[in-house]
Amino acid sequence: MKDTVALLRDCGAMLEGHFLLSSGRHSDRYFQCAKLLQYPDKAASALAGVAEQITSDIQSGKIAIDAVVGPAMGGIIAAWELGRQLGLPAFFTERDDSGLMSLRRGFEIEPGQRILITEDVVTTGKSFGECAAVLEKLGATVAALACVVDRRQAGIEIPWPFYPACTVDVANWEADSCELCKKGIPAVKPGSRRN
């Protein structure tokens, strides 16, 4: 876990300021995991512990996984890297023209297929929840969730086995109670989702 935080810092992936998150919440820190994941060796290193834990749990019969799926944009590279380390196929869901999460590009789900959803950052769980809904509607079973950075506030539960590469305690607020907005500091939105 410490190694992943160090990798994030070394790559300039942990930003400080006033940020509008993809979830709609505001925060004083933003994790631009793309700055870490652009380096294949650093991505492999950051997710190695996650792959080891998942492999151990597969071998012990705790979970079973047939494929790894990441919601676009942030989950694509993380899912691919975990798929590579686990020896499993990896693909992604993405938003269609109406903004709804969907499975496209010829990717297919077989009924009963057990999926590991992989994200870059988990704050509220909105993206992985949308991804899970699409996969379950197609007949898949969500077996587990993995991520590079777990930055959830207390009370946000994950309903599956959860494998974060690192967990960090970072302030974040609803827009109407943001401490940084109260100070008049303008927010920037570095994420990819349109709220």
Distance CA 19, CA 22 (A): 9
Q: Is residue 191 part of a domain?
A: no
Q: Which domain holds residue 27?
A: 2-182
Looking at per-residue pLDDT, the higher value among 5 and 149 belongs to 149
Looking at per-residue pLDDT, the higher value among 97 and 61 belongs to 61
Q: Is residue 189 part of a domain?
A: no
CATH number assigned to the domain comprising residue 15? 3.40.50.2020
Q: Is residue 99 part of a domain?
A: yes
Average pLDDT rounded to a whole number, residues 152-165 = 89
Q: Is residue 77 part of a domain?
A: yes
| Structure confidence by residue, pLDDT tens digits, 15-50 | 889 999 877 889 998 888 999 999 999 999 999 999
Instruction: Decide if pLDDT at 66 tops 60.
Output: yes
Pairing mode of beta strands 162-167, 101-102: unpaired
| pLDDT value at residue 134 | 93
Tokens 């769980």 locate to 125
| pLDDT value at residue 138 | 93
Average pLDDT rounded to a whole number, residues 117-141 = 91
Question: What is the overall mean pLDDT for the chain?
Answer: 90
| pLDDT value at residue 148 | 96
Q: How many domains does the chain have?
A: 1
Distance CA 12, CA 132 (A): 30
| pLDDT value at residue 44 | 94
Give the CA distances from residue 174 to residues 23, 64, 102, 154, in Å, rounded to whole numbers and listed in that order: 10, 36, 27, 14
| Structure confidence by residue, pLDDT tens digits, 68-123 | 999 988 899 999 999 999 999 999 998 988 888 888 888 888 999 999 999 999 98
| pLDDT value at residue 180 | 92
Q: Is residue 49 part of a domain?
A: yes
Torsion, Cα 94 21 152 142, to 10 degrees, reads -10
| pLDDT value at residue 2 | 56
Instruction: Decide if pLDDT at 195 tops 50.
Output: no
Q: Is residue 143 part of a domain?
A: yes
Q: Is residue 130 part of a domain?
A: yes
Q: Is residue 141 part of a domain?
A: yes
Please tell me the pTM assigned to this model: 0.87
